[in-house]
Each structure stands twice: as structure tokens, then as C-alpha cells.
Structure 1
Amino acid sequence: MHMMYQVVLPAFLFAVLTMPPAAMAAESVPSYEQAREQFEAERRQTSNGPKLSPEDRQIMQQAGEDLAASMPDPGLEVGKKAPDFALPNAFGKSVSLYKQLENGPVVLVFYRGAWCPYCNLQLHTLRESLPAIEGEGAQLITVTPQKPDKSLEQVKKDDYPFEILSDLDSSAMKAYNLYFEVPIELVDVYRRNFGLDLADYNGDGRYVLPVPATYIIDREGIIRAGAADVDYKERMEPAAIVEALKRL
């Protein structure tokens, strides 16, 4: 599978949620995979994006291989206690995971930032899936390394009604075994080819990202299902999230 910014990376899914086709079809939630396929088809047709040099492609490939080797099993296992955290939301208010669990299960999503097109695809499908998620008594909370002002821009632009929390000291990403530092060579590739400086989003000197991950956490704080993948294009399907909530 070809990737725009990185090569295909080995993946680790720490919960395999199997759903019959009929159950998948019954859920009135959008498909992330279908949205991704449409996005990539349109990109191929329009030939958008920079033309990377062989040297820059090699840097991306090496960075992807190094990440996969250093994090063969990202994330936390099903059955583990979810680490608590208190992080600022887009409006600067501190939000505690365990406090929110008092109101019911939480779907916890770690994503890279507003600059990431695949993160935006995921968040859009999750926004459209909120009625089904909330119908199971759960709430959606997202975590990103970006600054609250960048999250606020997302909230206003895309009308997100769920919490977007900023992990400004990387403590949550580290607690959930998702944290990694972006190699400076890759940082330079992003600058040269995409006009992207991660520090503009994360803060000075913070060239860090999470492996994208989704967790379904019950009211007792136990991880009941989830997925984490070093291939940042791969995300847990909304239908699988809803099915996991039904099983709680």
C-alpha cells in the first residue's frame, strides 16, 4: 500500500474486533476506510501534493522503518487500567479522564494534529458517528500534542462538539505508550515539501507525535477494546467502536 508521507509500516492491533457484515451495515455510522479511499482517489486524480526527491523519500522510508522497529507493540493492552490524566481542552479548561468516566464509558482517541489529513478524515467520521456513540451512553474525548489555540481553530472550523485535549508535556502519550520523537531529518522534509513546521502546532522545540490510537474505556477505567497502528493511515472504524460499546 502506497503512503503519501511514509512507507507502509508494520502494524500492531491489540484488539481484533470481528463484526458480521450484517452488523456493520446495521450501524448508521460512516466508514473511515471509505472516506480514506475517496480522499486518496481524488488526490491521485488531481495530482495534488509536492514531488518528493529520491533523497527525501529515502528519509521518510528510513524514519518509518525506525519507528516500526522501535515501537513494535505501541499502545496499551486490552484489560489494562487506563492511566488517568488532566489536560487542557480547546478553551483552556482542564479535563480529567476519570472525572469524565463518572458519566459513562469513554472513547479515547489520540491523533497527530489539525495538519494531518488522515486525522481530519477520522475526526469527521467520528463527528458523524456521535449519535451512535452517545446512544450507547459513551462520550468521545480526543488527545493531540498540538496547542489549545490550534484545537480551537478545529472546533470552530469543523464544528466539533467533542473534547479536544492538548497533551502539552507529552505525559498522556507516554503513559499510553504512544509517544515518539520525529527525527530532525524528517522535520526538515516536512518543512521543505509541505510547508509544515510541527513546532507551529506543538510549541517551540516539540517535534513529537503520538502513534494514532483508539481506546474504549469502561466506567471502571478498564480498556475493553482498541487499536494502535504505526501506519498513521490506519484508524479504528466507527462501526467497530460502536460494536465494542455494545459489548460493555
Structure 2
Amino acid sequence: MEKRERSLKDELDALQARNMSPEAAAAFAKLIQDLRVQGAGVGLNIGDKAPDFTLDDAAGKSVTLYEELAKGPVIIVFYRGEWCPYCNLQLKAYERIIDEIKTAGAQLIAISPQTPDHSLSMQEKHELSFSVLSDTNNKTAENYNLKYKLPDFQQEILKRSGIELNQYNGDHTFELPVTATFIIDKNGTVIAGASDVNHRTRMEPSETLKIVRSLQYYYSESQIHSRSEPRGLFKDNIS
């Protein structure tokens, strides 16, 4: 029998089982419940136009979404920061397939509120070969309906764990993006994605790869048959 490749969900579940104490699990469950009640992190819907942004990468170079879309589809991943082990697993999973993403004519952009210095640290530590951008003050996360503020009890848990969020993000807002992934076609339209206040629930990189490969096929076919945009290709999987 062929061995099943380990999914990102498998890795995230294993990390939680190893590292999360009963106290932390209870606090985490309370955080998720509170955020759901608040309606936090609803994200964008399929068919929405993705808000444009210009953000600095880890080297201080400005990256503008719609300039990148002129080259092809873009996968956008919003993550919390290098201090989040779940985020690290996710970005490393994308690094493993980044060549295949590029071969499909797409690119990946990862966005967090941490300062460029910390973005550079993360990029170098994990040898990431895609753009890692700094969303100062979570302005882009806000435009994508993802920004939320950590409640006081969660701030204290981070501090007790030695995580000084203000040092990572360069502010004292204690605001973060809900973790999310969006696939944007070259016309700037959201065609697939997922967002969830549970930062252990993330879109599988293999699923994003499958979608951008479908887009590549669609675009090649549209050149032959003069179709204008990929309507109806993808199910509404944004949560």
C-alpha cells in the first residue's frame, strides 16, 4: 500500500499534541469561542476584488500586489509571526512546493504584522524563497477583514511564554491577523481561500497548488477559446 504523504493538518495536530498543556488548551478554546462571537476574521468572499497593497519585504523592497498580479496569480498567506510554531510549519510546507507553484505560473506572498527585521530573521532561519512582507499596524489585514485584538488573558499567556509581541510587531496594539490563505487570479479576483480564528485550521498547501495548476490550464485554454475569466471553476471554500 502506498504511504500517504503527511499533510499540514497532520503536522499541526502533532505539534499541538506535543506542546499544548491542558491549561493552554482551555485558554485557546476560550479565545476561539470569544473571537467567533465577535465575528472576527471573516476575510474575503470568492468573487471579491482583492484590495491592493504595497508592503516592504524582508530586504526593505516594496512589493505591490497588482504589479505582481500582472505576472500571474498570487497566493497570499496571512500568518501571525515567527514566534508562532504553527505558522512556521505552514510556511515550511509551502517552501517544499514553491518550485511547483512557480512552475504553475503563480507566486506566493506571506504577510505578517512583524517588523522587517523579524521578517528577515524568519526568511533566513527557514530558508524561504518567497516574499515575506511586513504589514505595519495590520492595515492590510484590516482591509482583508482579518484584524483582531488579542484579549488581555491571551496577552498574559504570551508574556508568560516569553513572547513579547510588541517587540516583534513594533507597536503596543496586540493586534494580529486571523490566519488566512487567498488565491487571487491575475484579474485581482479572489477565486479560493480559507480563513479561521482557529490558527490550527489552515488551507492545505497541496490544495492551493492544485488550484493554481487548474488556473494555469484554464489560462492556456482561454487563449485558444477566448474565454475571459475563470468563473465557476472553484468551489466556495472560504470559511
**TMscore range, shorter length:** 0.7 to 0.9
The answer to whether residue 12 in structure 2 is matched with residue 36 in structure 1 is yes
1:30: how far off?
6.2
TM-score (norm 1): 0.79
- Tell me what 1:195 maps to: 162
**Contact 1:108–1:214 (CA under 8 A) maintained in structure 2:** yes
1:91: how far off?
1.1
Q: 2:195 aligns with which of 225, 228, 233?
A: 228
Q: Which has the higher contact order (CA 8 A, sep 6+)?
A: 1
Distance 1:188 1:39, change over 3 A: closer
Task: Please identify runs of 4+ aligned residues in structure 1 that moved more than 2 A.
Answer: 34-41, 48-52, 56-64
Distance 1:37 1:59, change over 3 A: closer
Q: 2:79 aligns with which of 111, 121, 134?
A: 111
Unaligned runs of 5+ in 2: 216-239
CA deviation map 1:138-175 (0-9, x unaligned)? 00001001111001101111111111111103211011
1:51: how far off?
7.1
SS at match of 2:81: coil
- Tell me what 1:16 maps to: none
Q: Which amino acid aligns with 1:199?
A: N
SS at match of 2:137: coil
**Contact 1:198–1:206 (CA under 8 A) maintained in structure 2:** no
Q: Distance in 2 between matches of 1:196 and 1:144?
A: 16
**Contact 1:107–1:214 (CA under 8 A) maintained in structure 2:** yes
- Tell me what 2:60 maps to: 92
**Contact 2:40–2:147 (CA under 8 A) maintained in structure 1:** no
Identity of paired residues, percent?
Answer: 41
**Contact 2:75–2:181 (CA under 8 A) maintained in structure 1:** yes
Unaligned runs of 5+ in 1: 1-24
- Tell me what 1:126 maps to: 94
Q: Which amino acid aligns with 1:33?
A: K
CA deviation map 1:116-147 (0-9, x unaligned)? 01100100100001122112100000100111
The answer to whether residue 152 in structure 2 is matched with residue 184 in structure 1 is yes
RMSD, aligned α-carbons = 2.2
**Contact 2:40–2:146 (CA under 8 A) maintained in structure 1:** no
